[in-house]
Amino acid sequence: MRVRIDPNVRVRGNATRVGFEDFEGLDPADLHVGEVVTVYEPEAGLRGEGAIVEVDPAKQLVIVAVDWSSLLPEAAWADWDVQVAAMVAGAEDRLKQPVKVDNLDELRARLAAREA
């Protein structure tokens, strides 16, 4: 989930305040405290990491703890994006593979050995 931030708005030390409208593709019901988000600042082309600290549905405001040291130009994140895409594709491929009986039998044997 991506959220637009203003690095000049700081609350509670290293956090920032954003509105529901600052989230891309947001359904406010999907916001949860502790959820990791990608923060970005479009004017400077910066992107980094953050986590939701507080959600106020009545005011439609969210407090996001930002790892300010992670704010880097979008281009610096290109390698990361490629690696994440490869991991996602690999996970999807593994989910499509049938379970091998040999592997399942081996797993059951290991679990049984631990319980004994």
pLDDT in tens, 2-39: 899 988 888 888 899 999 999 987 777 788 899 999 99
pLDDT level of residue 88 (50, 70, 90 thresholds) = confident
Query: How far is the C-alpha of 26 from the C-alpha of 49, rounded, in Å?
Result: 17
Query: What CATH fold (topology level) applies to the domain 2-115?
Result: Ribosomal Protein L25; Chain P (2.40.240)
Specify the pLDDT at position 16: 93
The helix/strand count (H/E) of the chain reads as 2, 5
Lookup result for tokens 């005011």: 59
Range scoring the smallest mean pLDDT among 28-42, 55-69, 85-99: 85-99
Report the DSSP pairing between strands 61-73 and 36-41: unpaired
Provide the sign of the torsion angle of the four alpha carbons 24, 30, 31, 37, taken in this order. negative
The full set of domain ranges for the chain reads 2-115
> What does pTM read for this prediction?
0.67
